[in-house]
Chains A and B, each alone.
Chain A
Amino acid sequence: MGNSSSMLTQYDIEEVQQHCNDAFSQQEIVSLYQRFCQLDRSGGGFVSAEEFLSVPEFAVNPLSQRLLRMVDGLNFKEFVAFLSAFSPRATLQQKIEFIFKVYDSDGNGKVTFNDMLDVLHDLTGQFISEKQSKQVLTQVLEEAGYTNESLLVLADFVKILGSSGLEMEVEVPVD
């Protein structure tokens, strides 16, 4: 892998920046491109699931499979857009939207009891029984004014998470 920005023109950088709504500076986009090329070992223009899983720090993350569904096969522009929720310039709304998308695996704009149960299962593995996790989820839902049958939409997530001081930022290393 030789010179990194030799394949990214100024026009490309601006296009990517626009696509991610200015979430990253031009320098950060160049760094992200270097990283993208480093991960994309087969040179296909996208990073496959296998290539993501070869990063051990990612592979040990409990939500790696969920994220893989969202990030597998993206080209560079989409990759940057995916990461834009983690930029320090992203708004709280954008971060909550990202979390919503992680929950809403079928993409229909509604998060069901089962969706939330699935994520809880990813996070706790075999250390909470099926019955216990249903119990926990039902209890906290009822306390928040929902039921097992409630279908949560983005507005609900904004209401629930809006006041909790969400911190979701990564720093893009810029040489």
Chain B
Amino acid sequence: MNSNQGKLKPSSSELDLDRPNIEDYLPSGASIQEPHGKLRLSDLLDISPILTEAAGAIVDDSFTRCFKSNSPEPWNWNVYLFPLWCSGVVFRYLILFPARAIVLTIGWIIFLSCFIPVHFLLKGNDALRKKLERVLVELICSFFVASWTGVVKYHGPRPSMRPKQVFVANHTSMIDFIILEQMTAFAVIMQKHPGWVGLLQSTILESVGCIWFNRSEAKDREIVAKKLRDHSQGADNNPLLIFPEGTCVNNQYSVMFKKGAFELGCTVCPIAIKYNKIFVDAFWNSRKQSFTMHLLQLMTSWAVVCDVWYLEPQNLRPGETAIEFAERVRDIISVRAGLRKVPWDGYLKYSRPSPKHRERKQQSFAESVLRRLEEK
């Protein structure tokens, strides 16, 4: 990399060069100031800018902020409000929750009693079977949404079923998928989960067409990229829903979008989802709770209120790279849903940043030292 090149050219095989220059986003420090003048001992010993950056990161950093659950402010702190709050708790846990559990159970019974026959008896007649299964999946998702008293407001034109089109949305919890699925049967790409969720994934979600990935496997990226491409080219597959952040974020921020969804040669239709925090914090902090606990939390809160915006479909512009396209769509979604953008890859939740970032800093410092050594 020569020093007169401003940005690194992204190369599609490198996971790490997958993003715009992080230096533009990080708090300014030694990276911006270009010291000059002859190199002196004090310049070498003065490591204060770098130490300040490190201490700044220890005290507060934009990445951790993305995954902070918003605990609701306690408002029950006096004699008048406390009994009100107590009766609310009683109502939620003893009346709402059982009612919702019953609704959900009924929904499951109806669903299974229709799904199982359809799945086995119509084995021969694929087209009809797929159509019925699609409707049934939409049905069970509606039951799920009802079980949290989901009040979802959909804005914008309903997605139309056209080939060569993928949908992308910001990701807060697995319920994003359920909320979107109740309106349109999407095929989705998900991380395979253990437990009952995994069971559902392998049986029911198979019928709408789903792609599995495994974050921990390195080679997985290419396999998944190929599956994505195949699916989006197929004419009668369900439209693909992708969450390009790759992980759940707390609905206040958005992390960088992975470029996989943006290099399939398809139109990308952005969807923005914003949950109303007053009613419940819909962020699924997978480090803190299991999905079951998360669902229970939702079922014992007053309601899940959210807005879903179907935004204008976007195409790759001439001369635009996949990464620039991804960032442009992230912009559109973040503005609509009121999210702050941070320059981090969501997968940093599970792995360390690549050494390339540190090397860039080291290189610029080294160049400055050598240059100033020459100065008179």
Contacts and interface: CB of A to CB of B under 8 A. Distances in A.
Interface of A: 1-3, 32, 35, 38-39, 41, 52-53, 55-64, 67, 71, 83, 86, 95, 98-99, 102-103, 116, 119-120, 123-128, 132, 136-137, 139-141, 143-144, 146, 157, 160-161, 163-164, 166-173
A166 B61 CA distance: 23
A-B interface, 10 closest residue pairs, ranked by CB to CB distance from nearest: A125-B362, A127-B366, A57-B57, A124-B366, A144-B41, A58-B57, A60-B357, A168-B48, A61-B54, A140-B41
A76 B42 CA distance: 33
Interface string B33-44: 000000111111
A52 B58 CA distance: 7
Interface stretch (B7-15, B63-71, B113-121): B63-71
B369 A136 contact: yes
Contact of A56 (B43, B49, B61, B362): B61
Given A55-B63, A124-B362, A157 B52 contact: no
Interface of B: 26, 39-64, 68-69, 71, 74, 287-288, 344, 348, 352-353, 357-359, 361-363, 365-367, 369-370, 373
A119 B353 CA distance: 21
A37 B59 CA distance: 12
B40 A140 contact: yes
Nearest to B59: A170
B54 A58 contact: yes
Given A2-B71, A57-B61, A136-B39, A125 B44 contact: no
B45 A168 contact: no
Q: Which of B60, B69, B287 has the most CB of A within 10 A?
A: B60
19 contacts: A35-B58, A39-B64, A56-B63, A63-B50, A64-B54, A99-B46, A124-B362, A124-B366, A124-B369, A136-B44, A136-B369, A136-B370, A141-B41, A143-B41, A160-B42, A167-B48, A167-B49, A168-B52, A170-B56
Given A56-B61, A57-B63, A140-B40, A125 B359 contact: yes
A39 B362 CA distance: 27
Given A60-B358, A157-B45, A161-B46, A172 B59 contact: yes
A41 B287 contact: yes
B61 A137 contact: no
A125 B52 contact: no
Given A56-B63, A128-B370, A167-B52, 8 more contacts: A1-B288, A63-B50, A123-B362, A125-B363, A140-B40, A157-B45, A160-B41, A172-B59
A71 B50 contact: no
A123 B61 contact: no
A59 B353 contact: yes
B42 A164 contact: yes
Contacts of A64: 54
Contact of B58 (A3, A41, A55, A173): A55
A56 B40 contact: no
Given A2-B71, A56-B344, A57-B26, A102 B51 contact: yes
B367 A127 contact: yes
A102 B361 contact: no
B64 A62 contact: no
B51 A63 contact: yes
B59 A83 contact: yes
Nearest to B364: A127
Contacts of A164: 42, 46
A83 B41 contact: no
A29 to B, nearest CB: 12
A70 to B, nearest CB: 11
Contact of A140 (B44, B51, B353, B365): B44
Contacts of A126: 359, 362
Contacts of B359: 125-127
Nearest to A123: B365
B59 A58 contact: no
Contact of B50 (A61, A143, A146, A163): A61
Given A60-B357, A60-B358, A83-B59, A160 B370 contact: no
A3 B72 CA distance: 10
A141 B366 CA distance: 18
A53 B59 contact: no
A127 B44 CA distance: 16
A3 B73 CA distance: 9
Contact of A119 (B47, B52, B74, B366): B47
